[in-house]
Structure 1
């Protein structure tokens, strides 16, 4: 896996991300934030994006699994005929925000939606992000066509 940090996990990264998202939204708007996440998903995480474009979602599942395990999150992966669901039952980022008495607002979850939308752009997949409750959500990668780019 190309994107694999092995140093100490500094959970305050999530505090900084939370504040940055709020700032970018208030100063530049959602379209600008979406473009930032599109570039991140498709350029920084190019291997994952290219895998999705070629019809393979395994690199994305491996990426999610690695980071949620590394940060001691809880998740369940279920696979169906044309989809894979990554159900997060305890989000480590949300847990850290709450432990530091930082409110978790809708914009925090927006980052996942924007990344997933960008990852699925021009691929044979749709990635649906469903927030179920605070710190619990499902990201479902669903094959929408057999075409690969």
Structure 2
């Protein structure tokens, strides 16, 4: 493997690890654990403010570097690594799709709500929908991490 290939592989592993920590490990989950409207909404809005800044560059880097690492593996005729890295790229892409189709529309609603107002109609259903799709994202991020590690050369 060339030094560029090694650099791409390490960058791919690093950004995928960051994605796994950010999404699959989910260090912000305790902020969303509030039982009632006000507690949950404050936590969800705090998480949203942070993740709107942090998640996009992590997702972009993880996706782009997974594709780049796939190209490097294909160029080096390493079929196993190319397949694993392609799987990682697909998992990242699928996680982005879930985010855009489900989580982001719920986040847009949540941004309009105020904790001191009466509970918004349907807030519990929106919360449940967001959490279900977030579990899907967590699995996809973990799968991307497993695929990235499986692609490593011995």
Q: TM-score, normalised by structure 1?
A: 0.30
Q: Which one has the largest radius of gyration?
A: 2
Relative to the length of structure 2, the TM-score reads 0.29
The structure whose residues are more often strand, as a share, is 1
Larger relative helix fraction: 2
> Relative contact order, CA 8 A, sep 6+: which one is greater?
2
